[in-house]
Amino acid sequence: MLLCLIFWGFLQAALLYNHERVLQFASFAAARSAAVGYQQEIYKRAYRVAAIPASGAMLAPTANWTGPNQQYQQLGVELPSLIPQYLGMAPTGNMDYTYWDQYDMRPTIIATATMMTEQHGQQYPIEMPIISYVLYGQTNSTITMMGNITTSMAAHYPFFLQ
């Protein structure tokens, strides 16, 4: 039993590490969008699209995914039409995932005259209830990710808008 608990603990740690890397890339995507002069809604959408692998199940648009290849069916809908429409702010580009609103997946951009910085702490659920119970005594715990990660880059848009 102890060996099984250790195995599931390592598996949960690997999942959290993977999600941390995905959210770090999402932070970079948001900072990059802000650095070229995009509005807040655009860099929020860029963050969310980059964070799709760590966003849980797709809620909208609803579809009846069937069979063993449900992820491939979802990907076949996302890539060719939904993601470009969502980033282009088209009214038909409505997308929603489990963790987008539940865990406040919105980037915070701090802008100065020459730098764009994105830094925030992201709540993320522990996906294995047994590990959550061992660590926190409850089965629906979250862990704060990206608490000390800062993404900074030069602000390029003032040079192009002159």
| Chain segment 50-83, per-residue pLDDT in tens | 888 888 878 777 666 666 666 666 676 676 777 7
- For β-strands 58-60 and 115-119, DSSP reports them as unpaired
Q: Are 55 and 124 in contact (CB under 8 A)?
A: no
Please check the confidence at residue 148 and state whether its pLDDT lies above 70. Answer: no
- Predicted pLDDT of residue 92: 63
Global confidence as pTM: 0.76
The band of 158, judged by pLDDT with boundaries at 50, 70 and 90, is low
End-to-end Cα separation, the chain, in angstroms: 66
Report the share of the chain in percent with pLDDT over 70: 77
Q: Are 143 and 124 in contact (CB under 8 A)?
A: yes
Output the six-digit token pair for 47.
Answer: 């963050």
Residue with tokens 């941390």: 20
Three-state secondary-structure class, residue 61: coil
The band of 147, judged by pLDDT with boundaries at 50, 70 and 90, is low
